[in-house]
């Protein structure tokens, strides 16, 4: 059995934000989409999916996280709107976007990506787009129904929250859904 674990780096969401997301999901469910809905408590802002890593690399990943956040002050963010990947005609994922300190969030992700590349983790080919995944499609989705949902729910917005640390999570895929365990975290600076 290989000594690897499936991992990703993310920002955890506070409970009032997951409650808002749960409400958005309930509203989306009224449209009858055939989706695998992400449990609200499992929704997070992924900065980098690492996949399977050697347990021996956890400390190196932790150091890369610490260096990425060393000059980062807490980010003010809010969940806002509804979108789909890759597009409305072939939607596979429904997500909610973010507003607030988006440029510093992108810079943080870029720093993290660069630090991780330096220890052997390849850079993403697609540009980073901060989002919170709400659901994944089980089949084809009706584009018109999706547009109706986006028009009806697309202006929803959560309260502001502050992101002040990044967390390395272990992800175990189970029949009942993914189980996430925190392995380590790196705190942002408290003041500039």
Residues with catalytic function = 44, 131
Residue recorded with tokens 């995944």: 133
Q: Which one, of 8, 18, 14, 52, lies nearest residue 38 by Cα? A: 18
- What gap in Å lies between CA 44 and CA 152, rounded to an integer? 24
The helix/strand/coil state of 143 is: helix
- What gap in Å lies between CA 168 and CA 65, rounded to an integer? 8
Q: Which residue blocks in 101-141 are alpha helix, DSSP H?
A: 102-117
Bridge partners for 108 per DSSP: none
């Amino acid at each position: 059995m290989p000594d690897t674990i499936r991992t990703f780096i993310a920002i955890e969401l506070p409970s009032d934000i997951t409650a808002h997301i749960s409400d958005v999901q309930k509203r989306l469910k009224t449209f009858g989409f055939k989706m695998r809905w992400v449990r609200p408590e499992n929704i997070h802002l992924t900065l980098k999916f690492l996949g399977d890593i050697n347990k021996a690399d956890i400390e190196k990943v932790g150091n890369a996280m610490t260096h990425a956040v060393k000059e980062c002050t807490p980010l003010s963010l809010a969940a806002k709107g509804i979108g789909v990947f890759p597009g409305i005609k072939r939607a596979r994922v429904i997500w909610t976007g973010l507003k607030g300190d988006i440029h510093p969030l992108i810079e943080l992700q870029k720093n993290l990506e660069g630090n991780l590349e330096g220890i052997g983790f390849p850079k993403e080919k697609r540009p980073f787009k901060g989002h919170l995944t709400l659901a994944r499609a089980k089949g084809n989705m009706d584009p018109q129904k999706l547009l109706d949902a986006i028009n009806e729910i697309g202006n929803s917005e959560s309260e502001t929250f502050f992101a002040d640390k990044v967390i390395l999570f272990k992800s175990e895929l189970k029949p009942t859904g993914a189980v996430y365990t925190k392995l380590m975290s790196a705190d942002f600076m408290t003041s500039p």
